[in-house]
Structure 1
Amino acid sequence: MIQLNLTHLTKIVAGEPLFTLNQLTAHAGERIGIIGANGTGKTTLAHIIAGTDTDFTGQRTVTAPVTLVPQIAPTNGRSGGQSMLDRVRRALAQRPEILILDEPSANLDDEHQRWLIGQLQHFNGLLLVISHDRELLTAVTTQIWSLADRVYTTYNGNFADFITLRDQEKRNDLDRYQQEQRERRALRQAIQARHEKADRIRKGSRHMSEAERANSKSMREQNAGKMERGARALKDRMNRQKVAGKPREVAPLKLVATDLPPVTGKYVINVTDVHLRRGKHDLLDHVQLRIKPGERVALAGPNGSGKSTLIAAILAQRPGIRLAPSARVGYFHQDMTTLPTDQTVWQVMRRVTALDDNRTRQLMGAFGLKAGFYDRLIGELSGGERVKVQLLAILVSASNLLVLDEPTNYLDLPALQALEDFLVGYPGTVLFVAHDQAFRQRVATRVLTLSDHRLVDPQRAAQGVPATDLPRLQFEYDQLMQAPELDTQRLREIRDQIAALKSAPN
């Protein structure tokens, strides 16, 4: 039974279309994931479906009451994760026919993420989930509504199925583009060949006598004209062809060690027998932690186990904690109030970046902040867009130690992928907290677990991509290949080192 039908719907904001859709239909019992970049209108669509936003054109038909659990709500002194859990529990207890959840897994630890997935898998009504959580979307959804270029597209299956289909579409688009380019090259070559043949016909053979040349002039001109008409026909055919744009691929920015201040010493962070409390409550006993330059260390554990408290103690260099004197810390925690709302995005980035303008723009583009964002005021951005600016301000700074407290919350999927790529290739040291398990697994070279007042350090229980010299070597190789004069000896040396690193066992 159809419970939701949106037809020819357009939402206008500040005189511009935020998004348009021809038709979106949802049936009872379906579980739909709504995905798209920050600021593109996913939450707005949720409010239209719920009936709290009526400023749109088109038709909305909803056959049952809608319960909406918003992303942002008063926390009443509780953590963001605890507040969201309370609101989700209250909503489920109402047994709604239609339930919309906006970023329900943000700030939830691993245990509560599993609880949420289990609850939603057994939800009997129509469920719509706005999320960037890949594990949640894969485990729960039966359909994906993807918002891109201001248009919604429907995909059957869960998020993993969507990724497979999207990647296939990208490959098909690239194949079509390459085929069109081959065809156009062939047409251009055929046109050029006919023009050249027409010129040769007009000139005639160099072995002709003057009499032969004069007697054959009319015939040669007639044949050359046929060649010219054939060339024009081919050119008209080429001009009538619909030319697809080249599929866009954002190349990740590669930093090298020379972009960062050098680190001296064996350890960047050294924690020796530290005891941490929050108020009257013991959090961690006898903490021992050493982090070497180049490591990417994740802190995992339940909400309230002390992850953020440990980070705060490290940054404050409490007794028993030492940072290398050469450490330059870039600290991220989601507090968008620190951004100047009366400045533009580019003004903020120019003030903090240690990179040149071109490389700064390249990294901004990878996170979805393209040229259209440069002149926008911070105060005009959505919450997710402000998170990107705040995070990027740390990533482009002259920091050799990144301390990131929940950097993945509220990032859209392209930005999440860009952050993964950036950190995997980052030549400095990273200490981070992230509840996104897929993100931890790809980025971390070591995962430390906070449990039962202890910090468990498995040392070699790494799940992520090991820190190596590979990004630096590949960057140097690229630079040498673009140099005016090729240093073939150095190229061979770097190529051999890259091959050795790629073939080495993990």
Structure 2
Amino acid sequence: MLLNALNVKKEYGIQTVLDIEKLEIRDGDRIGLIGRNGAGKSTLLGVLSGRIACDEGVVKRYCPIAEILQTGETEDEPEARLLSQLKLRDSAVKSGGEKTRRAIGAAFSSQAPLLFADEPTTNLDMEGVELLEKMMKGYRGAILMISHDRTLLDRVCNQIWELDKGNIRVFDGNYSDWAAQKERERGFQEFEYQQYQKEKKRLERTTDALQRKSQTMTKPPKRMGSSEWMLYKGVAAVQQGHVQSNKTAVMSRLEHLEKKERPDELPQVSMKLPDAGKIRAKNAAAIRHLTVSYGERIVLDNVSLEIEAGRRTFITGNNGAGKSTLIKALIDRAPETFITSEARVAYFSQDLDTLDPKKTVLENVSEDAAYPQHICRAVLSNLYMTKDDMFKPVSVLSGGEKVKTALAKVLVSGCNFMILDEPTNHMDVYTMEGLEHLLESYDGTLLAISHDRTFISHTGDVVCRLEHGDIQKSAEQ
């Protein structure tokens, strides 16, 4: 036993963030902690490590714990052998990716029996993520990590903890095992809900029918004289008593019918994006012999690329390779670039500069939408934005919620050429799957930058890698 926790509670104001009866971490556990944005995953890691005090309960730690924080901050230095492996430089100014790599190196150098990692793929390029995966697979201690990288969760984890409404459910297996189990549960819950609704309506109809029958028994049937009615009235009273008794029994069954709620883990509205209209030209866009330099550093060196209409092209590459620079040149219509006149372009940028902080989520999404407001609401719902979220001003949103809002603006714009720069940053796994489902139904052209291997695999047709200033089509899926 490396750690156990009993009756842990943590509240912020009137909100209960954690209410967990029991948790255990044992030697050999490789645990992936998942949950919606804002569910309290980082808080749980802080409570278990001792950085954050819990309001109630006990956490017992039986070994040292190494941590990789989401901020990338660390006071420790990696071992010399890891400096070159992680491609770390001695520099006063460090990028986000370099901070994360340094924090990873320091944590692994400690060789602690238990490692906590809070979104360790933050700011890492694909090369960094693959290196992290290799290091985790070879780690001798137990691991508890928060991550939205489904490939990492699949390849490293043997257990999934799902944090929902303050409680933890423990699932054996990796992310795919968890997803399959949840799908089976959703199917069963949906079946139970439909059966409940069917039985409820049947009992309500039966009650109404018995009520009407009881009421007709207080009046003489047509063609029955008053003297006959006087003779029949006693018989009718007995029959009415039986009907009332049946009605009472049915109402009792209805009252005691076990209520089944509709599964709340699926988006409220299942939908497909409306037809965007296909581009008839062979290529939606092209880049010809593009060179970009920053001072003496050549970022893009005579790069050429064709974006075939109707395809889903992904650009990958290490941090600083020039991926966003390439996209920006296309958006800014640099002389070396071409976009067909048939294209209606919508662009998702990492700086989220399309959002008006004073307006609500729904106002931001609806103001330039090509579709009615009910489509805007449905898209937001599929990105796991609640009705309450839709009426929040953008200024109070979390980073993940702002990303969802900006993406929804693009998705309802009516564009037939969608350009996305790292759209899955700050997303939880649920929202990523919601976005994938929406993009599956998109019939336009997609150009995207991403480091997320599962997202690329599920969504992309063509994968191009940008490296050393040049771009190569590395795969066609």
Q: Would the TM-score normalized by the shorter structure come out above 0.5?
A: yes
1:178-236 Cα shifts (integer Å, max 9, x gaps): 22223223323443454455467666877877655432321221122112111112102
What is the identity, as a one-letter code, of the residue corresponding to 1:134?
Answer: R
Distance verdict in 2 for CA 1:386–1:5, change over 3 Å = farther
Q: How does 1:424-435 map to 2 (within 5 A)?
A: 424-435=440-451
Q: How does 1:292-303 map to 2 (within 5 A)?
A: 292-303=308-319
1:268-313 Cα shifts (integer Å, max 9, x gaps): 2122233444543445554332223332211123444332232233
Q: How does 1:455-466 map to 2 (within 5 A)?
A: 455-457=471-473, 462-463=476-477
Query: Whole-Å Cα distance in 1 between the matches of residues 33 and 310 of structure 2?
Result: 37
Distance verdict in 2 for CA 1:53–1:345, change over 3 Å = farther
Which of 380, 383, 388 aligns to 1:372? It is 388
2:98 equivalent to 1:82:
yes
Query: Whole-Å Cα distance in 2 between the matches of residues 285 and 255 of structure 1?
Result: 37
Q: Contact (CA 8 Å) 2:279, 2:310: kept in 1 or not?
A: no
Query: Whole-Å Cα distance in 2 between the matches of residues 396 and 76 of structure 1?
Result: 44
Q: Contact (CA 8 Å) 2:366, 2:409: kept in 1 or not?
A: no
Q: Contact (CA 8 Å) 1:20, 1:151: kept in 2 or not?
A: yes
Q: In the alignment, which residue of structure 2 is the partner of 1:6?
A: 5
1:221-270 Cα shifts (integer Å, max 9, x gaps): 11221121111121022112231222244234433346x7x867543212
Please, what TM-score do these two structures have when normalized by structure 2? 0.85
2:272 equivalent to 1:254:
yes
Q: How does 1:263-412 map to 2 (within 5 A)?
A: 265-277=281-293, 279-335=295-351, 343-397=359-413, 399-412=415-428
What is the identity, as a one-letter code, of the residue corresponding to 2:239?
Answer: N
What is the identity, as a one-letter code, of the residue corresponding to 1:287?
Answer: V
2:241 equivalent to 1:225:
yes
Structure 1 residue 132: deviation in Å? 0.9
- What value does the CA root-mean-square deviation take over the aligned residues? 3.0
Q: In the alignment, which residue of structure 1 is the partner of 2:455?
A: 439
Query: Whole-Å Cα distance in 2 between the matches of residues 321 and 39 of structure 1?
Result: 41
Distance verdict in 2 for CA 1:346–1:194, change over 3 Å = closer
Q: In the alignment, which residue of structure 2 is the partner of 1:119?
A: 135
Task: State which drifts further: 66-75 or 160-169.
Answer: 66-75
Q: In the alignment, which residue of structure 2 is the partner of 1:472?
A: none
SS at match of 2:376: helix
Distance verdict in 2 for CA 1:252–1:448, change over 3 Å = farther
Q: Contact (CA 8 Å) 2:275, 2:443: kept in 1 or not?
A: yes
Query: Whole-Å Cα distance in 2 between the matches of residues 404 and 290 of structure 1?
Result: 17
What is the identity, as a one-letter code, of the residue corresponding to 1:6?
Answer: A
Q: Contact (CA 8 Å) 2:196, 2:259: kept in 1 or not?
A: yes
SS at match of 1:217: helix
SS at match of 1:457: strand
1:16-37 Cα shifts (integer Å, max 9, x gaps): 2234222222223311111111
Q: Contact (CA 8 Å) 2:380, 2:408: kept in 1 or not?
A: yes
Q: Contact (CA 8 Å) 2:10, 2:19: kept in 1 or not?
A: yes
Q: In the alignment, which residue of structure 1 is the partner of 2:188?
A: 172
Query: Whole-Å Cα distance in 1 between the matches of residues 272 and 440 of structure 2?
Result: 10
List alignment gaps of at least 5 residues for structure 1.
464-506
What is the identity, as a one-letter code, of the residue corresponding to 2:52?
Answer: D
Structure 1 residue 42: deviation in Å? 1.0
List alignment gaps of at least 5 residues for structure 2.
74-90
SS at match of 1:92: helix
Task: State which drifts further: 383-392 or 359-368.
Answer: 383-392
What is the identity, as a one-letter code, of the residue corresponding to 1:314?
Answer: L
Task: State which drifts further: 86-95 or 209-218.
Answer: 209-218
Query: Whole-Å Cα distance in 2 between the matches of residues 11 and 339 of structure 1?
Result: 33
2:147 equivalent to 1:131:
yes
Q: Contact (CA 8 Å) 1:39, 1:384: kept in 2 or not?
A: no
Aligned residues: 458
Query: Whole-Å Cα distance in 2 between the matches of residues 11 and 342 of structure 1?
Result: 32
Q: In the alignment, which residue of structure 1 is the partner of 2:39?
A: 40
Distance verdict in 2 for CA 1:7–1:441, change over 3 Å = same
Q: How does 1:102-113 map to 2 (within 5 A)?
A: 102-113=118-129
Task: State which drifts further: 386-395 or 168-177.
Answer: 386-395
Give the fraction of aligned pairs with identical amino acids, expressed as a percent.
30
Query: Whole-Å Cα distance in 1 between the matches of residues 172 and 42 of structure 2?
Result: 21
Q: Contact (CA 8 Å) 1:269, 1:323: kept in 2 or not?
A: yes
More helix by share: 1
Q: In the alignment, which residue of structure 2 is the partner of 1:70?
A: 69
Query: Whole-Å Cα distance in 1 between the matches of residues 215 and 367 of structure 2?
Result: 61
Please, what TM-score do these two structures have when normalized by structure 1? 0.81
2:47 equivalent to 1:31:
no
Q: Contact (CA 8 Å) 2:7, 2:22: kept in 1 or not?
A: yes
